[in-house]
Structure 1
């Protein structure tokens, strides 16, 4: 018997039944610019609230951060001979979020330095959009906080009106003693803090927009906010004289901004639903620990960056099958 006769026959599929086309074969209809500018729209309520309470100074900070991020990114693209990327909207979002993480009275050079840290150190050195392991905005915020703690922890007192000029420093609600903060002020935004720590209602509107367009996994903010509520709630019951109520912890500081707009970043957060829950839970625990027992009154930025570092491990532990895998029907051969 010849070797040919011993060779098993291979059943090839019928070419007439094959459909050949360019990948991807399934498309959601989304693209990067569409996603980015939807996020920009979701940020607008909070930006408008910041301008209403902090006036022209808020506009200046937001514009400086946004323009510097776009210019620095395009300067880098030109330096490394890449195509312009500003139209995809990612640098614009980075700039707006950076401005939301700063005080209305932040000096102009700090805004530009923050743009440099976010774009170069937080994004481009890793290869650009999609390759950065850490949220670029939080890289810049933490860098500025370490380098210029006095500037980054001094806040203007809000005063309704676009022509506000004179600035008065004021403590954020988390820096006040329990009982000194009015919940109505927290919801509306009549409180000291960064531009993105003002109106809780405006931030919630933005979060609802992101959820409605399915741009973020709901598991991240749910686990993040829920864990902070439970941990601070227990601490408040144990020591109400020294610990704010869980509602104050949820609606003040950078928690809402971080939970909806930064912890949910598609690049730096886990891909699976289970991973998103783990990620959000970790963010909430770390934030609560820093707020309750740490030397900083706020811990959102540190918590998200720490969990960003764990994202690859979370993905490895929670992704159990390849993307696109379809389990065979019962009784069908695998």
Structure 2
């Protein structure tokens, strides 16, 4: 007689394992990693490797100390390390990046039980912690193709920073598409992110509902605020967040309408923060806020089980 095994989400029907899925995500992130090395040099590769190694080490030590089965082999910690690195500036001190990895793996992930039980995205939460802990270092940008040492590098502003300050020449759409702008490692090259997102959708690792709805909502609000929708879509971490962070299985809704509501909330909050907030970017905060609201969204969109009686409201009306 076969045993019925009950475990934490995400749940899948079929032969795919967590390791298979995470491997697909790593493959999808490869174009963005390659682009970051081309744009920012060997320092980008060093920062990515540092984050990945730190996340693997922290996951291994946590599981060891907590006397729980090792989960390093499922590759989820590798994905967290890559995503965190791609959300960092190339000039960030590696020790600060390691601190962010500790926050992502130990605090956000393992203290809540490990993969499938964290309620917010570990990489984005770590980025917010680093942004508030080391604001000057987390907003220090350099020109692409400037491979000089950190002290000699030519500093620049991100496209959204230029727009927010209202000074300087904005980059062209082509520069935004190819990544010839300042920014985090993985957010500048829209082409690389779109290739990776298309791969995930083709492999059915993610559904297009969240990224398409997220981007469409952001474009609509950008137009309503009198901004340039295409510029907003290609700038900052919007594409990276829409395809790789907002679609996280654990922290996003399971049901179709839940995903739609979640993505609309992400898109609206992103543009509200960009337009009215003190920071030029709003992707990280918007996704984290919607992560927190995911259980509430699921509660109201969860379909009624077949054959179950309808709830009766006060006054005798059925829902």
* Structure 2 length-normalised TM: 0.89
Question: Could you tell which deviates more after superposition, 26-35 or 299-308?
Answer: 26-35
Check if 1:268 corresponds to 2:251: yes
Check if 1:39 corresponds to 2:31: no
Please give the alpha-carbon distance, in whole angstroms, between the structure 1 residues aligned to 2:68 and 2:236: 38
- 2:37 matched residue in structure 1: 51
Check if 1:282 corresponds to 2:265: yes
Residues 326 and 205 (structure 1 numbering): CA distance in 2 closer, same or farther, change over 3 Å? farther
Please give the alpha-carbon distance, in whole angstroms, between the structure 1 residues aligned to 2:13 and 2:132: 43
- 2:90 matched residue in structure 1: 104
Alpha-carbon distance, 1:211 to partner: 0.6
Check if 1:193 corresponds to 2:176: no
Please give the alpha-carbon distance, in whole angstroms, between the structure 1 residues aligned to 2:299 and 2:13: 25
8 Å Cα contact 1:105/1:167 also seen in 2: no
Alpha-carbon distance, 1:28 to partner: 1.7
- 1:292 matched residue in structure 2: 275
8 Å Cα contact 1:69/1:92 also seen in 2: yes
Check if 1:216 corresponds to 2:206: yes
Please give the alpha-carbon distance, in whole angstroms, between the structure 1 residues aligned to 2:91 and 2:51: 13
- 2:230 matched residue in structure 1: 247
Please give the alpha-carbon distance, in whole angstroms, between the structure 1 residues aligned to 2:197 and 2:219: 18
8 Å Cα contact 1:223/1:280 also seen in 2: yes
- 1:133 matched residue in structure 2: 119
- 1:314 matched residue in structure 2: 297
Of 161, 164, 173 in structure 2, the residue corresponding to residue 183 of structure 1 is: 173
Please give the alpha-carbon distance, in whole angstroms, between the structure 1 residues aligned to 2:141 and 2:218: 24
RMSD: 1.7
Please give the alpha-carbon distance, in whole angstroms, between the structure 2 residues aligned to 1:319 and 1:252: 34
Of 283, 286, 291 in structure 2, the residue corresponding to residue 303 of structure 1 is: 286
Alpha-carbon distance, 1:137 to partner: 0.6
Of 58, 69, 90 in structure 1, the residue corresponding to residue 76 of structure 2 is: 90
Of 157, 167, 173 in structure 1, the residue corresponding to residue 143 of structure 2 is: 157
Alpha-carbon distance, 1:21 to partner: 4.8
- 1:14 matched residue in structure 2: none
Alpha-carbon distance, 1:98 to partner: 0.4
Please give the alpha-carbon distance, in whole angstroms, between the structure 1 residues aligned to 2:269 and 2:193: 22
After superposition, give the CA deviation of every residue in 1:283-329 in whole Å (9 maximum; x if it has no partner): 0000000001100100000000000011001111111234xx599xx
Q: Secondary structure at the match of 1:122?
A: helix
- 1:332 matched residue in structure 2: none
- 2:312 matched residue in structure 1: none
Q: Secondary structure at the match of 1:134?
A: coil
Check if 1:66 corresponds to 2:49: no
Of 216, 226, 236 in structure 1, the residue corresponding to residue 216 of structure 2 is: 226
Please give the alpha-carbon distance, in whole angstroms, between the structure 2 residues aligned to 1:189 and 1:115: 25
Please give the alpha-carbon distance, in whole angstroms, between the structure 2 residues aligned to 1:313 and 1:138: 21
Q: Secondary structure at the match of 1:197?
A: coil
Please give the alpha-carbon distance, in whole angstroms, between the structure 1 residues aligned to 2:307 and 2:203: 26
Q: Secondary structure at the match of 2:155?
A: coil
Between the two proteins, the alignment pairs up a number of residues equal to: 296
Please give the alpha-carbon distance, in whole angstroms, between the structure 2 residues aligned to 1:215 and 1:27: 13
